[in-house]
Structure 1
Amino acid sequence: MKYVREFEALRGVLAIWVLVGHVASAVAIHGRLFQERFYNEHAVDVFIILSGFAITALIDKRPESYHLYIARRALRIFPAYLFYLAISVAVAGVAVQIWAASPDGSMKAARVGIATDTLAYWPWHLMAHVTGLHGLVPPRFLPFTDYAFLGQAWSISLEWQFYLMAPLLIGLMMKQVSWLRIVILVLLALAVTAVSPKLPQSFLGKWLVDFGIGITSFYFMKHRALGEPFLKSLPLPQLWLIGVGLCILQRSVDYLPLVIWLTAILVIVSAREGRGAVYERISAIACSRPLEWLGSMAYSLYLSHMLVLLLALATLPSLGITSPWAQAGYLLAVTLIGSLIVSRLSYLYIEKPFHEFGRSLGRGDLVATEPAAISKKRAV
């Protein structure tokens, strides 16, 4: 299946959503939207579904040895993550003071508590974070291990856990059913159920449904594009209406990520199949250069924006901005513009070079095998 360009735009929009929510939770404007951080935790839910889709597409498109696969994934995730982690460690001491002096936002008390805890246990937090496996450390051993130093890095640990396990999980889900495979899945489910309550929010087992939605979506789109009769016959707009209707009937905003995902799949598939000008227009907007530009650096934007927000908060007292709405406008403008600049630079000079290096791994082996394959064909 071809690369889904529209998902780049989705990544960028989700990263901005997370940024806006974090700014909203740092200002003293209390209302439902501000109190709930604009529900930006649901943007992360969509990120996780999207990750399930993207990694499944990668594994399906390019079968390779596990060590090569995981080396590429490490080069994709760790350079930028470790860069922003290092900065966060360096400013951890002053971060406590900045959060304590910040406006009375909905997350102020939590952030002061996390920053204080981070300093109290910083060597252990650092050891866990450098490996990217801090999402596997039980909170009773290391409090707030999910959010120490770089709060949003809880999802980076989750992502890394998924990368490590994805080939096994996808294989168990999608290969031919057998009694052995069923037994393994049942045992895994029981094990995850048993340990999940003891592990932090970023434990992979808590998010298997989200990753599973992404995995299943990839195979649905792939086999429908290949013309599988049953999948090709499914009426997408009607199924979308049923799915969204069922989500609405739940009367919970927790189903918002699923509504967003179902809508994205409807638009992308319908645009590729030429099922209406509306779908094609939305797809064209998503594939536009500004949104692709934003999406390309979504990972750096996600990692960097809290540091920029911290810097913006540090300048508030000296500027004498006291009105909550003026503070909100200032923080949003500085955080957004500053994060875009910083993220573009880290994408160009950290993310992109390491990503390209990762893509080059194994090419020498591929080139070396091609002449032998050609010679074998000629001999036949």
Structure 2
Amino acid sequence: MRRLDWLDALRGLAAITVVLFHLSPQLIGAEAHLAIMRHIDLGKTAVLLFFLVSGYVIPMSLERHGSLRRFWIGRLFRIYPAYLITIALFALLAAAGLLHWQASLRAETGAGVLAHLTMMPDLVGVRGVVRVFWTLSYEMVFYLVVTGLFAWGVHRHSAWYAAVLALTAWIVPLPDALLGGHPRLLAAVLLLGLATTLVLLFARHRKAAGLAGIAFVLVPALNGHPTAASTVKSSHQALLLLAVMFAGTVVYRWHHRQIGHVAGPVALAVVATSVVGAQWTQRNWLANMFAVATIFLIAYVFRHRPMPKTLTWLGRISYSLYLLHVVVLFLMPRIVPDLGTQSLPVRVITGLAYLATVLTLAWLSYRIVERRGQELGRRITRKIDNRQPSPPEPATQRAAPGTGRGENTRESV
């Protein structure tokens, strides 16, 4: 049993929940699906669980790499190959007339291309080629902000960051589209900012790169809902998502005794209260947060126990599963029209066939695309390190106990 199987299990549970959530309207009908959502939104629950896991894993990954340069090479070769393959698959199916591009992408092609290069389409106000791409916008902002905090050596104050982000989202009036209205210009600026941050990192201008990375927090704070194409509906929601990721970091640092025994629980309580308080008009948010906290707590308590192999396997393929399942789902109406009106046996058989298809595709993508991408990233890192050895890491950035380089870890998407 690997020490971090519990995180794989959480990712696996979150991924299959998203798949079933998107499948359910066709299997049980839209009315039944909406009736369940009035009590608990399993899609949001799964996404929040993903974000908590990312918040736990990303700082651990940074400390394990011991170098911001190595971290970013690993990240880019971890997430971009499967992401680009998903876009290419959608484009091929669209060219064959089997799928259709979103209207907003057809209207703003230039902005769409630039926004997808940044992996921040939701914050630009452009609909993702695949709708689930919206979560990657917040993952990317989190990577950049955490990178900046590491560059300045202030990354261990996670409790403060989580609490301040959450309270700001709950209490402070924020504009939703201060930078909106010009998606192409905004996408170009974000792409330039991302490229500048990475160039500065690779040129070893750590402090300048750090400032650029931290500045990205202003995008969700001031532009959380730039257009109707954005999935997140306000800057308050956008900051809350970042607060949830930092809550995962709080758990990681609390676990490794890097923050006080009081500060950790207080910060987590502030985040949970702010999420529910800021979204009080949507009563299912209380159920969402309760479900996320309960699931994460159970997994954490039993982290030293063997995890279900099915869930850990799903966790390993979760990124490809998350990206590809919607593409296959879009094809279902062409294969079985009006599935919701078909007999129960037809719906069950179709649902099982769909699950078998997406799981197979995700496994193939993981084996052929993701793993090879990661191997290529490691080879490039070794070559760069041989030519330009990384400077010794500051003492404040060495890996915490139990997260050393030799440990076999899987990184979160």
Q: TM-score, normalised by structure 2?
A: 0.63
Deviations 1:11-45 (A, max 9, x none): 11111111111112345723343566763232112
Alignment of 1:84 onto 2:112: no
Q: Once the 2 structures are TM-superposed, how far is the Cα of residue 83 of structure 1 from its aligned partner?
A: 0.3
AA partner of residue 123 (structure 2)? L
Mapped contact 2:225–2:232 kept (Cα < 8 A)? no
8 A Cα contact 2:45 2:289, kept in partner:
no
TM-score by length of 1: 0.68
In structure 2, C-alpha distance between the alignment counterparts of 1:187 and 1:127, rounded to whole Å: 19
Secondary structure of the corresponding residue to residue 336 of structure 2 = helix
2:73 pairs with 1:71? yes
| Contact kept in structure 1, 2:19 and 2:325, CA below 8 Å | yes
CA distance in 2, matches of 1:190, 1:232: 25
CA distance in 2, matches of 1:156, 1:146: 12
Aligned with 1:165 (options 145, 148, 152) = 145
How far, CA to CA, are the matches of 2:28 and 2:94 in structure 1? 23
1:253 and 2:318 aligned: no
Deviations 1:315-364 (A, max 9, x none): 114x9995264553244212211001111101000001111332444345
Q: 1:201 to 1:229 in 2, by over 3 A?
A: closer
CA contact (8 A) 1:155 1:202 kept: no
**Aligned with residue 223 of structure 2, among 195, 201, 207:** 195
Q: Which amino acid aligns with 1:358?
A: G
How many pairs were matched up? 323
C-alpha distance in 2 between matches for 1:52 and 1:210: 11
Q: Does 1:210 align with 2:210?
A: no
Q: Which residue of 1 aligns with 2:132?
A: 152
Say whether residues 1:133 and 2:124 are aligned partners.
no
Q: RMSD of the TM alignment (CA)?
A: 4.4
SS of the counterpart of 2:67? coil
Could you tell me how far 1:298 is from its partner in structure 2? 0.5
CA change 1:32–1:82 in 2 (3 A) is same
Q: 2:47 aligns with which of 44, 47, 55?
A: 44
1:150-184: CA deviation from partner (whole Å, max 9, x where unpaired): 1111222332232233212566563599xxx99x9
Task: Report if aligned partners of 1:23, 1:328 keep a CA contact under 8 Å in 2.
Answer: no
2:59 maps to 56
Partner of 1:341: 360
> Which residue in the other structure is 2:308 paired with?
288
AA in 2 matched with 1:258: M
- CA-CA distance at 1:299 after TM superposition: 0.5
Deviates more, 1:123-132 or 1:329-338: 123-132
- Provide closer, same or farther for how the CA distance between residues 369 and 150 of structure 1 changes in structure 2, counting only shifts above 3 A: closer
8 Å contact 1:80–1:351 — kept in the other structure? yes
- Whole-angstrom distance in 2 between the partners of 1:197 and 1:229: 35
Q: Point out the structure with the larger helix share.
A: 1
Q: How do 1:306-345 residues align onto structure 2 when only pairs under 5 Å count?
A: 306-317=326-337, 322-323=341-342, 325-326=344-345, 328-345=347-364
Map of 2:376 onto structure 1: 357
Question: What stretches of structure 2 of length at least 5 have no aligned partner?
Answer: 166-210, 393-413
Q: What is the Cα deviation at residue 79 of structure 1?
A: 0.2
Q: CA deviation at 1:47?
A: 1.1
Which segment is superposed worse, 118-127 or 159-168?
118-127
**Secondary structure class of the residue paired with 1:156:** helix
The corresponding residue for 1:270 is 301
Q: Secondary structure at the match of 1:40?
A: helix
Q: Hey, what's the Cα distance between the residues in 1 that align with 2:264 and 2:87?
A: 48
Q: What is the CA distance between 1:218 and its match in structure 2?
A: 3.5
For the structure 1 residues 173 and 192, does the alpha-carbon distance in structure 2 shift closer, same or farther, using more than 3 Å as the test?
farther
Find the counterpart in structure 2 of residue 14 from structure 1: 14
Please tell me whether the aligned partners of residues 53 and 248 of structure 2 are also in contact (alpha carbons under 8 angstroms): no
- Maintained 8 Å contact 1:49/1:210: no
Q: Choose 3-12 or 119-128, whichever is displaced more.
A: 119-128
User: Can you give the 5+ residue segments of structure 1 that lack an aligned partner in the other structure?
Assistant: 98-113, 139-144, 273-279, 374-380
Work out whether residues 51 and 241 of structure 2, in 8 Å CA contact, stay in contact via their aligned partners in 1: yes
Residues 132 and 157 in structure 1, CA contact (< 8 A), matched pair in contact too: yes
Q: Quote how far apart the aligned CAs of 1:129 are.
A: 1.9
1:105 alignment partner in structure 2: none
Q: Distance in 2 between matches of 1:306 and 1:189?
A: 29
Change (3 A) 1:333 1:188: closer
Q: Which amino acid aligns with 2:72?
A: I
- Whole-angstrom CA distance in 2 between matches of 1:165 and 1:227: 19
1:174 and 2:156 aligned: yes
Q: Residue type matched to 1:126 in 2? A: V
Larger radius of gyration: 1
**For residues 329 and 322 of structure 1, do their structure 2 counterparts lie closer, same or farther at Cα, with a shift above 3 Å needed?**
same
